[in-house]
Each structure stands twice: as C-alpha cells, then as structure tokens.
C-alpha cells in the first residue's frame, strides 16, 4: 500500500519560531508537493520538487522554503512563523506523468500563536 | 492559467438521494481530470480520474465523465450513504505537471 507520512498531525508554535514540517513517501516518486488548505480557498500549492535538490515555487511561496536532500523526503520550512501561516499543511507525491495519481499525507494542523 | 470551478457547498442530502457535484475547468491542451475525497481528519485520496475526452471514471458507485465540449467533469452517485459525507475536490493536471484544485464541496448525508 502506498504511503505518505507527515511528521506531526498537530503542531503549535509561537510567532517568530522556525518550523520544520517533514514528509516522507515510500513509493519512489519523483514529484513531491506541499500545499496549504484553508476554508473557502481549497488547496494552494506552496512549493514542489521534481527531483532531489530541485524545487519550484508554487502559487504562494512567500514565507516558506523547502529542502529535498533525498528522494523520499521533502521538508517545508517556515523561517519565522507568523499567525497568518496557521493552516492545514498537506504533503503529496506523484510519479512523473500527468495521468498519474497524486497521493496525500494525512496533513499537519499548524497553529501559530 | 488553469482553473477549476466547482459548486459551492455545503450540500445536504438524505440517504439514498441522487448526488451531483458540478465541476468545470479552464485549461490549455488536454488535461487529466480527477476527483479527490477528504474524509474528516484525513488527507485527500483519489476517488476517480479520467485522462482523455469522453472517458468515464468510476469508483465506489461514483461516476464522472470527461466532457471536452462543455469543459466539465461532474461527479454523480445514484444513491448516497451516510458514509459518503466528506469534502470532494475536483482537480486537473495540465501543462508543466501542475495540479490545480477546486475549492472543495462539502457533502453531508443525513439518515
């Protein structure tokens, strides 16, 4: 069974803290993605990566960075957390073609106080 | 750029009612189309997909047909159950491998 795991289901941080969200997939997928999900806005793409050490900005990259040192792991970093980054963060992975299914992790509910 | 528009929710239905959730899209070329479902407290999971015009995706009693002439991919189910209560997302993959999601439609099925 395919699996995408995220390091935490719930996280509470303070404004200004550096936050790391980890995502691991066991399907040897090339592409990995980070989204945030907010009510009424659906899913918005923050960053994606199509190979190790490669990254591309999505629609809302401001305030975030990413790291992909190994194929199976894709990290999202909030350099200095702010209250407007309180959200549900979803990681996903997909093999290379446009017809392939995207597999999602369970999500991390981040609250920034 | 690419976009997906789906009907506003929430949608409330009685058990065994017929379900339609509308989805239309704008994209260049020939996108692949998907429906994802998110149950409470979980991530998204693929419900069905269609990769070319006139294809019909189906799973768990849900169906959707890729209509290029109307740029639509409406989700239907003949008889919903309480266990179908979830949020449903329409999505497409167009050029550059990017996935574009709709805003989601919450379905609540009452006994």
Instruction: Write the pLDDT tens digit of every residue in A8-51.
Output: 999 999 999 999 999 999 999 999 999 999 988 889 999 999 99
Question: How far apart are alpha carbons B3 and B103 in whole angstroms?
Answer: 10
Q: What is the pLDDT of residue A42?
A: 86
* Per-residue pLDDT, B36: 96
Q: What is the pLDDT of residue B20?
A: 97
Cα distances (Å, whole numbers) of residue A102 to A72, A80, A92, A95, B103: 15, 29, 6, 8, 17
Residue B14: pLDDT band (50, 70, 90) is very high
Cβ of A102 within 8 Å of Cβ of B34? The answer is: yes
pLDDT value at position B96? 66
Any B CB within 8 A of A5 CB? no
Query: Per-residue pLDDT averaged across B16-36, rounded?
Result: 94
For an interface test with A, give the residue of B43, B57, B104 to mutate (most A CBs within 10 A). Answer: B43
Provide the pLDDT for residue A92.
94
Predicted confidence at residue A99, as pLDDT, reads 73
Q: Give B83: exposed, middle or buried? Use CB within 10 Å, 0-12, 13-18, 19+.
A: exposed
Interface A-B: count of C-beta contacts within 8 A: 54
Higher pLDDT, residue A62 or B98: A62
With bands split at pLDDT 50, 70 and 90, how would you rate the model's confidence at B17? very high
| Residues of B with Cβ-Cβ distance to A101 under 8 angstroms | 34, 46, 49
Q: Under DSSP, is residue B96 helix (H, G, I), strand (E, B) or coil?
A: helix
Dihedral over alpha carbons A12, A27, B1, A78 (to 10 degrees): 20
So what's the pLDDT on residue A41? Answer: 86
Nearest to A102 among B99, B103, B104 (CB): B99
- Under the banding of pLDDT at 50, 70 and 90, the label for residue B26 is very high
């Amino acid at each position: 069974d395919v699996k995408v795991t995220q390091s935490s289901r719930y996280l509470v941080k303070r404004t200004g803290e550096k936050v790391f969200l980890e995502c691991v997939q066991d399907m040897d997928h090339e592409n990995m993605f980070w989204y945030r999900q907010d009510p009424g806005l659906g899913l918005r793409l923050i960053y994606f990566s199509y190979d190790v050490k490669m990254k591309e900005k999505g629609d809302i990259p401001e305030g975030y960075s990413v790291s992909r040192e190994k194929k199976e792991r894709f990290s999202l970093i909030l350099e200095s957390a702010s209250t407007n980054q309180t959200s549900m963060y979803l990681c996903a992975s997909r093999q290379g073609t446009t017809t392939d299914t995207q597999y999602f992790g369970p999500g991390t509910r981040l609250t920034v106080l | 750029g690419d976009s997906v528009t789906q009907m506003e929710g929430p949608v409330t239905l009685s058990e065994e009612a017929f379900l339609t959730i509308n989805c239309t899209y704008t994209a260049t070329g020939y996108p692949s189309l998907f429906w994802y479902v998110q149950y409470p407290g979980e991530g998204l999971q693929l419900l069905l997909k269609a990769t070319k015009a006139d294809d019909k995706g189906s799973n768990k009693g849900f169906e959707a047909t890729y209509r290029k002439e109307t740029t639509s991919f409406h989700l239907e189910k003949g008889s919903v159950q309480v266990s179908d209560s979830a949020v449903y997302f329409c999505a497409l993959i167009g050029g550059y491998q990017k996935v574009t999601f709709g805003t989601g439609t919450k379905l609540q099925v009452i006994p």
